[in-house]
């Protein structure tokens, strides 16, 4: 079947000149170049965000000590649990608005934008309150060692204060992505990230703070990024503009966003929950392994953000084209995103492995920490092909509004396998390598399950 051109369905936001050059016509023309224009700024955004976050660990590791570095790093899985939920729910905003753009429904675009902003602020406040209540319990569940417990708790309590603006930023960025603009969030993140690094150095090196200094810097930088994007949406010249006088909460749009976003958030949380379990195993191996793992995470995740940018491209492009009822183009988006992700992610992984020693040395000069970090990088990157196939295929399904199946597949094949692995295989052998082996095993099974469902779903569409 020949690909259908979406005549009369040209993006509401695409213009050939002026400010609208940042928007992408996802409904017509070639795909590879547009996917790259969408994905690469998004990848840079994620990588820069991780670089700025890594500054927290690097600053306390260099100027406070190994225990402070371990304290900040041990919060990674818990922070990831919340951020993955926020990102997942914001994907609901992304998909819903992208579908409305493809369909040309201006009124529902405005309702979805307004509802998303209100929900982000209210939801962030609720997470702030809940997080403060369960912080001690969660850190005990993680088996954080006594010598770093107080520092770890101090960091996470301050971090929780930033929940409303962190949630708001993710929703705002999703709104920009829905129309193809990934450069604006990138520029805003650069501004906020530079402020974050500067505050880190000032509060730790000049003001004499420890982990509380880097936590405060993180909250302030997130506040700045959320505020800038909010102001830009207030001044937006198109249907994504926020009008404070007309802001209304629409239950219909909220439920539609949640139907897509909550399963996506749960899918992200499932990864984080399984990583919490793995982190408890890492914590049982001592502060040196904890420090090595924390350093490696901040390096390995660079490749993940590159991969994830193609996943989000797949979701957004499929969302718009599904809204325009162009199913053949949706399938082409899926295939092209997989091919591009393999090419770019493989190059990134190989580069990081080649330069892993000096990169890990930026966080800690201890040779044992560096070698343990390299072991983690090897095991994680060996599983990235499986992760790539599962993530992009999940993104493809989410573009159609199908979020529950990938979430359930991830629950059983990732979270279930990893929890069982920690309490069986790892308990039997008790080595760092035996713990890390769970990554390729669980991700391989997840890719298989999600891939089979996606092929069945695509076949049903072809004959429907």
Contact criterion met (CB below 8 Å) for 196 and 55:
yes
Alpha helices for 75-182 (secondary structure H):
76-103, 106-141, 146-160, 163-178
Higher-confidence position of 158 and 20:
158
Task: Please give the pLDDT value at position 293.
Answer: 87
**Measured between alpha carbons, how far is 174 from 412 in angstroms, rounded to an integer?**
28
Buried b (16+ CB within 10 A) or exposed e, 191-211: ebbebbbebbbebbeeeebbb
Task: Please give the pLDDT value at position 260.
Answer: 87
Higher-confidence position of 186 and 82:
186
Average of per-residue pLDDT values in the chain? 85
463: confidence class by pLDDT, cuts 50, 70, 90: low
Residue with tokens 């992700």: 341
- Predicted confidence (pLDDT) per residue in 210-229, tens digit: 888 888 998 999 999 999 99
pTM attached to this predicted model: 0.80
Maximum mean pLDDT: which of 10-24, 40-54, 428-442, 449-463: 428-442
Helix (H), strand (E) at residue 236: none
**pLDDT, mean of residues 45-62:** 76
Encoded tokens for 178? 């829905």
Report in angstroms the alpha-carbon separations of 446 from 245, 403, 412, 442, 452. 46, 15, 8, 6, 10
How many percent of the chain have pLDDT more than 90? Answer: 36
- Predicted confidence (pLDDT) per residue in 248-284, tens digit: 899 999 999 998 888 888 877 777 777 778 888 888 8
Return the SS3 of 230. Answer: helix
């Amino acid at each position: 079947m020949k690909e259908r051109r979406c005549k009369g369905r040209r993006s509401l936001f695409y213009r050939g000149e002026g400010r609208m050059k940042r928007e992408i016509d996802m409904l017509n023309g070639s795909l590879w170049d547009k996917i790259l224009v969408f994905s690469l700024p998004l990848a840079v955004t994620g990588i820069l965000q991780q670089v700025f976050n890594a500054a927290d660990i690097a600053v306390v590791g260099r100027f406070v000590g190994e225990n402070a570095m371990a304290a900040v790093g041990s919060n990674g899985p818990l922070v990831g649990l919340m951020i993955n939920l926020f990102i997942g729910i914001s994907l609901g905003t992304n998909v819903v608005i992208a579908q409305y753009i493809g369909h040309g429904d201006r009124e529902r675009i405005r309702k979805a934008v307004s509802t998303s902003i209100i929900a982000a602020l209210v939801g962030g406040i609720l997470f702030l309150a809940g997080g403060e209540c369960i912080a001690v319990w969660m850190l005990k569940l993680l088996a954080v060692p006594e010598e770093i417990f107080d520092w770890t708790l101090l960091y996470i309590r301050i971090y929780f204060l930033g929940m409303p603006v962190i949630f708001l930023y993710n929703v705002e960025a999703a709104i920009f992505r829905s129309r193809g603009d990934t450069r604006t969030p990138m520029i805003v993140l650069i501004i906020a990230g530079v402020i974050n690094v500067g505050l880190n150095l000032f509060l730790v090196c000049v003001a004499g703070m420890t982990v509380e200094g880097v936590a405060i810097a993180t909250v302030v930088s997130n506040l700045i990024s959320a505020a800038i994007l909010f102001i830009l949406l207030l001044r937006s010249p198109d249907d994504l503009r926020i009008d404070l006088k007309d802001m209304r909460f629409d239950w219909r749009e909220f439920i539609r966003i949640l139907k897509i976003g909550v399963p996506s958030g749960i899918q992200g949380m499932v990864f984080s929950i399984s990583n919490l379990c793995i982190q408890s195993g890492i914590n049982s191996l001592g502060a040196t392994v904890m420090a090595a793992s924390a350093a490696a995470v901040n390096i390995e995740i660079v490749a993940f953000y590159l991969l994830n940018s193609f996943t989000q491209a797949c979701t957004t492009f499929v969302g718009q084209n599904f809204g325009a009822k162009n199913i053949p183009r949706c399938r082409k988006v899926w295939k092209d995103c997989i091919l591009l992700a393999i090419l770019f992610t493989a190059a990134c992984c190989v580069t990081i492995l080649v330069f892993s020693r000096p990169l890990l040395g930026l966080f800690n000069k201890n040779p044992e920490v560096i070698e343990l970090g390299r072991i983690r990088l090897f095991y994680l990157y060996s599983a990235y092909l499986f992760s790539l196939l599962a993530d992009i295929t999940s993104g493809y399904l989410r573009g159609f509004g199908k979020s529950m199946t990938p979430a359930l597949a991830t629950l059983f094949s990732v979270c279930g396998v990893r929890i069982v692995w920690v309490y069986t295989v790892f308990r039997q052998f008790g080595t760092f390598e035996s713990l890390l082996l769970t990554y390729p095993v669980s991700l391989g099974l997840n890719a298989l399950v999600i891939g089979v469902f996606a092929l069945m779903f695509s076949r049903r569409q072809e004959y429907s």
